[in-house]
Amino acid sequence: MTEPNSAGVVRRLTGRRIIVTGAASGIGRATAELFAAEGAVVACLDRDAAAAEVANAIGGYPVAADITDEGDVARATNLIQDRLKGIDGLVNAAGIMATGSVEDMPVALWRKIIDVNLIGTYLVTKSCVPLLRRNESSTIVNIASAQGLLPNVADHTAYAASKGGVVNLSRALAAELSPQIRVNAVCPGMVDTPMAVGNGGKAANYAMKRVARPDEIASAILFLTSEDSSYVTGAALAVDGGRSFH
């Protein structure tokens, strides 16, 4: 729903109740802040206590949860449903990254990356779908990665596998949940977040010659959550400064 505020500026998410995972920092935080400015009530879900500070600053609702724990996710979504009296949208922004060759990365670390990035996205989505189905039009946006579209960098096998899984999970969900729930993925390149520390130099290989700001990724997520993208589902939107073709 769009509605102008007192200054006459149209707010694209007025009345929407949206869960953002990974809201304590990075892309998740930028998304929570932008969505609140656009009129949404945002549930900030994160295992990091800093999510409470973000929620308080934007008038949202903080929920501590481990997205890799099915029971904890169910508890958290039930709390949000009770507090907000419904859920209209979900942004799965929680994720981790670690580098290492296929020979050297410990299996436990490989599993952790898959567990957080792919299984965590699945578990939150699984818990939210019954609540999202109660509305005529709901949205899910999953944060994948340019690595999930074109894994051409060494020592990122686990991360690329997890994010490639998120891309195809999003497409499969779009087919399964349409037309009532639209599901899309955003695939960022390098973003100026704590997760990208030490990797900024690789942006020289991008057409834009720089890393992205978190708010630039949040704007793409806003597009896929708002009515501006009402005929878009199953998309994997590269927001990567030209990495995918350069």
pLDDT digits (tens, 9 = 90+) for 132-150: 999 989 999 999 999 999 9
- Predicted pLDDT of residue 204: 78
**How much is the average pLDDT of 32-50?**
97
What tens digit of pLDDT does each residue of 182-202 get? Answer: 999 999 999 998 877 665 557
Question: Above 80 in pLDDT, residue 203?
Answer: no
Average pLDDT value for the chain? 93
**How much is the average pLDDT of 114-119?**
98
Pairwise CA distance, residues 192 & 162, whole Å: 20
Local confidence band at 107 (pLDDT 50, 70, 90 cut-offs): very high
Contact 65, 75 (CB under 8 A): yes
Report the candidate in 86, 47, 40, 41 with the shortest Cα–Cα distance to residue 66. 47
Report the candidate in 39, 33, 34, 32 with the shortest Cα–Cα distance to residue 16. 39
- Predicted pLDDT of residue 23: 97
Local confidence band at 130 (pLDDT 50, 70, 90 cut-offs): very high
Domain boundary assignment for the chain: 14-239
**How much is the average pLDDT of 36-49?**
97
Question: Above 70 in pLDDT, residue 6?
Answer: no
Pairwise CA distance, residues 239 & 14, whole Å: 25
Task: Count CB neighbours of 120 within 10 A.
Answer: 25
Q: Which candidate in 61, 122, 159, 206 is catalytic?
A: 159
**How much is the average pLDDT of 99-126?**
97
Pairwise CA distance, residues 91 & 128, whole Å: 11
Local confidence band at 35 (pLDDT 50, 70, 90 cut-offs): very high
**How much is the average pLDDT of 38-64?**
97
**How much is the average pLDDT of 35-60?**
97
Q: Which residues contact 65 (CB under 8 A, 6 or more apart)?
A: 45, 46, 47, 72, 73, 75, 76
Is 159 annotated as catalytic? yes
Contact 186, 144 (CB under 8 A): yes
The β-bridge relationship of strands 138-143 and 3-4 is: unpaired
Name the residue with higher pLDDT: 4 or 29.
29
- Predicted pLDDT of residue 74: 98
Pairwise CA distance, residues 207 & 31, whole Å: 25
Pairwise CA distance, residues 22 & 91, whole Å: 9
Q: Which residues contact 83 (CB under 8 A, 6 or more apart)?
A: 43, 61
14-239 carries CATH number 3.40.50.720: yes
Question: Above 80 in pLDDT, residue 7?
Answer: no
**Structure-token pair, residue 212:** 């992205």
Contact 89, 17 (CB under 8 A): yes
